[in-house]
Structure 1
Amino acid sequence: MLELTPLVWAVTIGLIVLLLAVDLVSAALRPHKVTFREAALWSVFYIAVAIAFGVWFGLAYGGDFGVQYFAGYLVEKSLSVDNLFVFVIIMATFAVPEEHQHKVLTFGIVLALIMRAAFIAVGAALLSLFSVVFLLFGLLLIFTAIQLFRHRDEDPDVEDNVVVKVARRVLPITDEYVGGKLVARIDGRRMVTPLFLVLIAIGSIDLLFALDSIPAVFGVTKEPYIVFVANAFALLGLRALFFLVQGLLDRLVYLSTGLSIILAFIGVKLILHWAHVDINPAVPEIPTMVSLGVIVAILAVVTVASLLKTRDDPTAKAHAGSLRAHKTRDPQRTTPS
């Protein structure tokens, strides 16, 4: 059991809020097209911060907890790449100008962190009260893995999102982005801009991502603190990673397949843990170190196989994957109005 003082929690949350504030201020004060060099520097910075934190955490609280953190971070980082696919689809669907994409991503990360914090609190409370929740989480991940594998060559249909459809019907929306504002006054009438709609789309999809990412990370650690920091550090670097690998995403053709395998593996791990605790202690459990090795191996194989596939077949294109079937839609044909 990880013993943490309130001071450690306070300093950790303060650090994350500070990093978020830097992103928010830079996005608000200087809207601009993010260059490859800028994205690379920010990506290296956030990865270095995450690694430095993991090293400190392992030294301060023991190697086992350090391994749990890095395993959780890798799980969340790999799942966050799938987030990037959806961000690309949303940006294209609503024709978000390049100078405002920075702001959209930062607000999207803030929304994701808030939702994940709520899910972590609820999940940790349920796990501490009912061990059968491990079984339910495991079954949820296996179901998600099967659906993602079945629809691995599809993309989520943003326009079919219930929240987005309702927002279009009930909110007055401008045709233009109006300088990146969320709300603008047009001809004396207060209206929301397409940027507000984009944030609604990202927020609602972030909620769906939280439904599988939180059970997944609870599969490698039972400590709420580790779950929280693994999520936070994985998400903090998402904005910079978006601009860094935007052109590479289309080449990761087997990513959805790899993620479905990872989710299924962690689902089995959770079910074995439940059986070990509630049915028979003789039921074997999968050690965290083994989980870390499996996750790293799957990601490595998926990346290499994807790059080889697109080298031999330049027409091959990656997809985010979907939990249900959708009709193929060309996002470039959709206008922001």
Structure 2
Amino acid sequence: MDLTLLATPWLGTPLYLWLAFLSLVTLLLAFDLGVLHRKSEEISIRQSLVLSGGYIGVGLMFGGFVWWHIGAESGLAYLTGFVIEKTLALDNIFVIALIFSFFGIPRQYQHRALFWGILGVIVLRGIMIGAGATLVAEFHWILYLFAAFLVLTGVKMLFAEEKEPDLDKNPLVGFLRRHLNVTNQLEGDRFFVRKPLAGSGRIALHATPLFLALVLIEAADIVFAVDSVPAIFAITTDAFVIYTSNIFAILGLRALYFALAAMIHRFRYLKPALALVLVFIGSKVFVAELMGLDKFPAAISLGVTFALIAGGVVVSLLKTRQEAQSLPAANG
């Protein structure tokens, strides 16, 4: 084998680094599906926390590898992107829980939908990040559009009224039900089954509610990627750092989901903190330009991002704990 081929840059990074990353992700997914979850079963909160901790550990170790192999600035950018994407995933968890509740998906079948959902995310994020990297390389001014979009999105998040989406009126759900034969109930953990059509008795392929849930999970990720992809482009334009930090943050989403789905209400004040992060990340692009800097210092970006998110988590847990403690007193 020609070893020089492995050193060939692809999107600015040697091919062997991309192959190492993809090999590691493939091994993790194969271990998850082939060893840990060969059967459809409910994942306990303890299992969820252990798995999530394992994925976070692997993601942070890969960040250390990026730091050692590519440089400190890239390592800090990776960690900043990892923290932002992991936090955005908490919002995603709320939506996923809503989707599973709407379709009546039991916990023992949820892992299958989440697993295949993650595979879809890996492909979709790759396409979006590849397109974004190409555009930024050709038209640098697009970074300023990304930055302005992040500031506006953050401000909107700060002042927008919280509304729970009505999935019964969701146009995608309506489209799927009009154009697919859909079973009225689940068929175990299967996405498709063959069964007689109502009225004619002819055997035809039917989608199950589990498949509809999977499609909506993929659609939800595209919506969330509209925030997260510009956010990390505002931190770094290195496609390798952007993609790897995104994917390692998302890989643990399935495990994290089962631990947090039942207590997502405890993170009520995380959304304002995340809104401030988006405003900060967008603003720093313009601040760097005004100060004549090539890039905003990566260490400051990571420090401010982590401080805002940690503050949101701490305030959320303290406030909701105080509210829970005051309820018995009020009832009494």
TM-score range relative to shorter protein? 0.7 to 0.9
Q: 8 Å contact 1:73–1:230 — kept in the other structure? A: yes
- Hey, what's the Cα distance between the residues in 1 that align with 2:27 and 2:160? 38
Partner of 2:269: 254
Long gaps (5+) in structure 2: 1-8, 197-202, 327-332
- Hey, what's the Cα distance between the residues in 1 that align with 2:125 and 2:146? 15
Deviations 1:81-124 (A, max 9, x none): 11111111111111111110111111222222211111100110
Q: 1:47-66 maps to which residues of 2 (within 5 A)?
A: 47-66=56-75
Q: CA deviation at 1:286?
A: 3.0
Of 222, 234, 238, the match for 2:249: 234
Q: 1:132-211 maps to which residues of 2 (within 5 A)?
A: 132-151=141-160, 153-187=162-196, 188-211=203-226
Partner of 1:120: 129
Q: Report whether the alignment pairs 1:300 with 2:306.
A: no
The structure whose Rg is larger is: 2
Q: Equivalent residue of 2:193, what SS?
A: strand
Which amino acid in structure 1 is aligned with residue 119 of structure 2?
Answer: V
Q: 8 Å contact 1:217–1:227 — kept in the other structure? A: yes
Deviations 1:24-52 (A, max 9, x none): 43587310000122112211211111111
Q: Report whether the alignment pairs 1:309 with 2:319.
A: yes
- Hey, what's the Cα distance between the residues in 1 that align with 2:268 and 2:284? 26
Q: Report whether the alignment pairs 1:11 with 2:26.
A: no
- Hey, what's the Cα distance between the residues in 2 that align with 1:186 and 1:51? 47
Deviations 1:256-282 (A, max 9, x none): 111111111111123345xx2xxx663
- Hey, what's the Cα distance between the residues in 2 that align with 1:81 and 1:126? 29
- Hey, what's the Cα distance between the residues in 2 that align with 1:60 and 1:286? 22
- Hey, what's the Cα distance between the residues in 2 that align with 1:142 and 1:121? 23
Q: Equivalent residue of 1:155, what SS?
A: coil
Q: Percent identity?
A: 33
Partner of 1:20: 29
Of 268, 280, 287, the match for 2:297: 287
Deviations 1:163-187 (A, max 9, x none): 2221122212111111111111223
- Hey, what's the Cα distance between the residues in 2 that align with 1:141 and 1:208? 14
Q: CA RMSD in A?
A: 2.2
Of 72, 75, 82, the match for 2:84: 75
Q: 8 Å contact 2:113–2:211 — kept in the other structure? A: no
- Hey, what's the Cα distance between the residues in 1 that align with 2:234 and 2:276? 14
Q: 8 Å contact 2:63–2:79 — kept in the other structure? A: yes
- Hey, what's the Cα distance between the residues in 1 that align with 2:313 and 2:72? 28
Partner of 2:46: 37
Q: CA deviation at 1:309?
A: 1.4
Q: 8 Å contact 2:89–2:253 — kept in the other structure? A: yes
Instruction: Check 1:283–1:57 CA distance in 2 against 1; reply closer, same or farther (3 A cut).
Output: closer
Q: Equivalent residue of 2:183, what SS?
A: coil
Q: CA deviation at 1:305?
A: 0.9
Q: CA deviation at 1:230?
A: 0.2
TM-score (norm 2): 0.87
- Hey, what's the Cα distance between the residues in 1 that align with 2:44 and 2:147? 41
Deviations 1:284-330 (A, max 9, x none): 953211111111111111111111211222399xxxxxxxxxxxxxx
Deviations 1:209-246 (A, max 9, x none): 11111001112111100001100100111111111222
